[in-house]
Amino acid sequence: MALPLVAAAFAATGTAQANDRQTVAGTKPTWARSSADRGKTDSNQRVDARVWLSGRDPKGLDAYAQAVSTPGNQQYGKFLTPQQFNQRFGASQQQVTAVTSWIRGAGLYVDLAGSNSHYLHVTGHVDKATGAFGTEFRNYSAQGTVARAPENNATVPDGVASAVLTVTGLDTGKHLRTHGDTLPPPEPNYNVAEPCGTYWGEKVANDKPTAYGKHQPRATCGYLPDKLRGAYGGTASGLTGKGATVAVVDAYAAPKMEQVENQFAAKHGAPGFAKGQYREVLPPTFDLVDECGAAGWYGEEALDVTAVHDIAPKANVVYVGAQNCADGLDTALTNIVDNHLADIVTNSWGDLAEHYTQAGIDAEESIFQQGAIEGIGFYFSTGDCGYEVPGTPCQARYGDAQSTRRQADLPASDPWVTAVGGTTLAVGKSNNYKFEAHWNVQYDNLAANGKSWSSPPPGTYPSTYSAGGGGGVSDIFAQPGYQRGVVPKSLSTKLPDGTTAKQPMRTIPDISAVGDSGTGIRYPEWNQRSDGSFGYTESRVGGTSLSAPIIAGVQALAQQAQGRQPIGFANPSIYLREGKHLYNDVTDQPQGRDPVAYVRTNYTDPYAGTGPLLYILVTSGNKGISKADALSATPGYDIGTGVGSPTASYLRSFR
């Protein structure tokens, strides 16, 4: 008997009653505590919110999304078109009319141009929003600033409660918006210092001190497409992704992505994009340019497009740019499901779970479930700071994104998406997979005398935790059915705060691929060169921002293998294949007692490409790292790498 995909994890929206009104649970942020209260909000402030519609049959939608994604169910793989979805589950005209009438009657404005089949865009002043949503608004100290939030959860009239899924944007904690006129230029290129290898072990740092009893290999210069395809089964399977369409979703749009990708392919003997194989879907304008650091997204976008194309060179790629890095990303996702722009969607972005409201979770999950019903799978990177432990050097690099507690990121930990973790990957000269370790690295600098690595000795605690693939146990979502029998109960009940949950919880990642930048990919970008001019550049990159598009490319190969039939929401099929020798079982120390290590060379100023050169010993895995800081990767499923990484046998299993 098929298990349900997702167990209930949080209270249903709209159950409590107050004066003929229904409470919309989760619309008050958790950070809006009385201890952080900074007074009443100015009634003339602008409110910019979204009222999300529940549709004709929300319970039926959830049931169908589970059935169509569960192998063995009679409905498995019977996907609907966007038109069929709207006819069966979308909001009715009566619901839209009723909600619109209520909002306008309360003195707020419905922006029809900014609305869609998922939500109504609502604007107005705080005093009108107070009456409409039945709550006062106050200022709170949060996220290093003062933000507005409702004093209580919003409420809606009984007459429209069944039509309202949730309300987002009532607070300004994450949704501060100002408009920018133009996008900034690309950022300076990050120059890769040599010596470095084209494959693992090509060069060894014999002139540097030993570590773990031997001289360690040099970092790679960034793997080229043939190395990636060889490592993850593309070459051996003979698959190219033909017939599949992968969407890349990020904020803004890097310049000349197709041009630089084709130039990169020609330079390195790989296939470029054929005519019509790549396209972009962009909003008419961009905003929050300064707040979001728009230029910082450009490298992200270039690497995502490159990684997908490296793995699946004949898959169609559509870049879907978001208007901003806040609610614009959700708008981009709704565009994909409403128009079925792709079968596979890779997302190299996310946020701390503590920054989410339940309302935000409900809204995004409605998109993911619609995608499941239409045969669209969403893949999210798990983040690059492990369990998001406060106070680590990794956390310190992310400024206002620093966490206050250990946690699993969102949307990656949502049970309706595939969470992709990171590894350290060794590929041989013949493009052969050698091994992978859990990407969870510490740095040891070369001592001033050049005769040893920095104190403490490598592999001893306390060491400098630098970065690593995100993962962990969710304290929000219960364990989905597809993880039962695969994820050990001893793991899934151990909450981030160290307490034991009463029931198994959602764990991530689900699957993994290379994320360590020292074994990352070579990629092109239209960027600022060292001489100040703009043009074609190459660099090396990693992060789970790389892992996610690699797995998206692998899934394009799998879709081709099963006769081009979309896979849809992939987690049930991923976990169904666990334990059948279809994955590389990635652990902390694949070489035995000694951890994986390599010597990385950096410029003092990598953006100018100037020295003197710096040398760093990078140790992967959690040897010597505080157990409070590190996620671990053990044989079988683990919260460091999930089920592991895909193989050619994994791809063949779809035939």
pLDDT of the residue at 378:
98
pLDDT of the residue at 256:
95
Q: Is the pLDDT of residue 143 over 80?
A: no
Q: How buried is residue 627: exposed, middle or buried, by Cβ count under 10 Å (0-12/13-18/19+)? A: exposed
> Is 434 or 626 the better-scoring residue by pLDDT?
434
pLDDT band at 317 (very low <50, low <70, confident <90, very high): very high
Instruction: Compute the half-sphere exposure of residue 267: CA atoms within 13 Å on the CB side of its CA.
Output: 13
Per-residue pLDDT tens over the stretch 513-538: 999 999 999 999 999 898 889 999 99
pLDDT band at 295 (very low <50, low <70, confident <90, very high): confident
Most confident of 286-300, 546-560, 582-596: 546-560
Buried b / exposed e over 314-336, threshold 16 CB at 10 Å, is: bbbbbbbbbbbbbbbbbbbbbbb
pLDDT of the residue at 268:
97
Radius of gyration of the chain (CA): 24
Q: Is the pLDDT of residue 8 over 60?
A: no
Q: What angle do the packed helices 327-339 and 358-374 form, to 10 degrees?
A: 20
The share of the chain scoring above pLDDT 70, in percent, equals 91
pTM confidence score: 0.94
DSSP 47-108: EEEEEEE--S-HHHHHHHHHHHHSTTSTTTT-PPPHHHHHHHTSPPHHHHHHHHHHHHHTT-
Per-residue pLDDT tens over the stretch 23-57: 999 999 999 999 999 999 999 999 999 999 999 99
Per-residue pLDDT tens over the stretch 587-645: 999 988 888 999 999 999 988 899 899 999 999 887 656 555 568 899 999 999 999 99
Closest by CA to 444, choosing from 595, 306, 336, 321, is 595
pLDDT band at 177 (very low <50, low <70, confident <90, very high): very low
Overall average pLDDT of the 106-117 stretch: 94
Contact by Cβ (8 Å): 382, 631: no
DSSP-based three-state secondary structure for 599: strand
Q: How far apart are CA 91 and CA 365, in angstroms?
A: 16
HEC readout, 2-44: CCCCCCCCCCCCCCCECCCEEECCCCCCCCCCHHHEEEECCCC
pLDDT of the residue at 345:
98
Q: Using DSSP bridges, classify how beta strands 164-168 and 511-514 pair: parallel, antiparallel or unpaired.
A: unpaired
Q: How far apart are CA 473 and CA 413, in angstroms?
A: 8
The share of the chain scoring above pLDDT 90, in percent, equals 77
End-to-end CA distance of the chain: 24
Per-residue pLDDT tens over the stretch 77-109: 999 999 999 999 999 999 999 999 999 999 999
pLDDT of the residue at 463:
58
| Mean pLDDT value across the chain | 90
Could you tell me what percentage of the chain is helix, strand and coil, using 3-state DSSP and rounding each to the nearest 5?
Answer: 25, 25, 50
Cα 430 → chain centroid: 31
Per-residue pLDDT tens over the stretch 214-251: 999 999 999 999 999 999 999 999 999 999 999 999 99
pLDDT band at 457 (very low <50, low <70, confident <90, very high): low
Q: How far apart are CA 384 and CA 380, in angstroms?
A: 12
Q: How far apart are CA 137 and CA 281, in angstroms?
A: 37
pLDDT of the residue at 176:
32
pLDDT band at 323 (very low <50, low <70, confident <90, very high): very high
Contact by Cβ (8 Å): 437, 424: yes
